[in-house]
Amino acid sequence: MELQKPRGTRDFLFEEMKERKYVEGTLRGVFETYGYQEIKTPLFEDLSLFTLKSGEGIMEQIYHFKDKGGRDLALRPELTAPVARLYINQLQKVPKPIKMYYFGSCFRYERPQAGRFRQFWQLGCELIGGKSPDAEGEVIAMAAHSLEKIGLTDFEIHIGDLGIIRGILNQAQLEDQDQIMALIDKGDVEELKSCLERVETDQKYKDILLNLIGVQGHREVMEEVREILEDYPDASKSLQELERLLDVLESFGFSNYVVNLGIARGLDYYSGTVFEIYVHGLGAQKQISGGGTYNLIEVFGGEKVESTGFAFGFDRVMEALKQQKSTLPLAKTVEVFVAPVSPEMKFKSFEIADKLRKEGIATETDLAGRKFKKLLSHANNLGARYVVLVGARDLEQGHVTIKDMDSSLQEQVALEEVVNLLVSKIRR
Listed in sequence order, the DSSP H helices in 217-261 are 221-228, 233-251
Scanning 39-47, 94-102, 114-122, 334-342 for contacts with ligand HAM by CB under 6 A, the matching segment is 114-122
Identified binder of ligand HAM from the candidate list 36, 117, 254, 337, rule CB under 6 A:
117
Minimum CB separation of residue 426 from ligand HAM in Å reads 38
Residues 6+ away with beta carbon under 8 Å from 46: 71, 72, 73, 74
Minimum CB separation of residue 276 from ligand HAM in Å reads 7
The answer to whether 349 contacts ligand HAM (rule: CB under 6 A) is no
Q: Output Rg (C-alpha) for the chain, integer angstroms.
A: 28
- Please answer whether residues 86 and 39 qualify as being in contact, where contact means their C-beta atoms are separated by less than 8 angstroms: yes
- Taking CB positions, which residue lies at the least distance from ligand HAM? 313
d(CA 212, CA 23): 37
DSSP code, position 116: B
Specify the residue, 20 or 357, whose C-beta has the smaller distance to ligand HAM: 20
Judging by DSSP bridges, how do beta strands 257-260 and 156-161 pair with one another?
A: parallel
Closest CA to 183 of 167, 203, 197: 197
What residue type is assigned to position 172 of the chain?
Answer: A
Residues 6+ away with beta carbon under 8 Å from 382: 333, 334, 337, 364
Q: Please, which of residues 66-95 interact with ligand HAM by CB under 6 A?
A: 78-80
Specify the residue, 316 or 348, whose C-beta has the smaller distance to ligand HAM: 316
Residues 6+ away with beta carbon under 8 Å from 263: 158, 159, 160, 185, 274, 275, 276
Identified binder of ligand HAM from the candidate list 53, 76, 108, 158, rule CB under 6 A:
108
Specify the residue, 245 or 288, whose C-beta has the smaller distance to ligand HAM: 288
Scanning 115-123, 165-173, 251-259, 351-359 for contacts with ligand HAM by CB under 6 A, the matching segment is 115-123
Minimum CB separation of residue 316 from ligand HAM in Å reads 4
Scanning 10-18, 171-179, 305-313, 392-400 for contacts with ligand HAM by CB under 6 A, the matching segment is 305-313
d(CA 345, CA 16): 35
The phi and psi torsions of 64 (rounded to 5 degrees) equal -120, 160
**Number of residues counted as binding ligand HAM (CB under 6 A):** 26
Specify the residue, 259 or 296, whose C-beta has the smaller distance to ligand HAM: 296
d(CA 103, CA 249): 25
Binding mask 120-159 for ligand HAM (x = CB under 6 A): x-x-x-x---------------------------------
Scanning 41-49, 304-312, 327-335, 342-350 for contacts with ligand HAM by CB under 6 A, the matching segment is 304-312
| Cα atoms in the 13 Å half-sphere on the side-chain side of 51 | 11
**First and final C-alpha spacing in the chain:** 52
Q: Please, which of residues 260-299 interact with ligand HAM by CB under 6 A?
A: 266-267, 287-291, 294
Minimum CB separation of residue 184 from ligand HAM in Å reads 15
Minimum CB separation of residue 264 from ligand HAM in Å reads 11
Binding mask 309-328 for ligand HAM (x = CB under 6 A): xxx-x-xx------------
- Please answer whether residues 353 and 362 qualify as being in contact, where contact means their C-beta atoms are separated by less than 8 angstroms: no
Residues 6+ away with beta carbon under 8 Å from 116: 8, 110, 284, 285
Specify the residue, 87 or 120, whose C-beta has the smaller distance to ligand HAM: 120
Which positions touch ligand HAM (CB under 6 A)?
78-80, 108, 110, 115-117, 120, 122, 124, 126, 266-267, 287-291, 294, 309-311, 313, 315-316
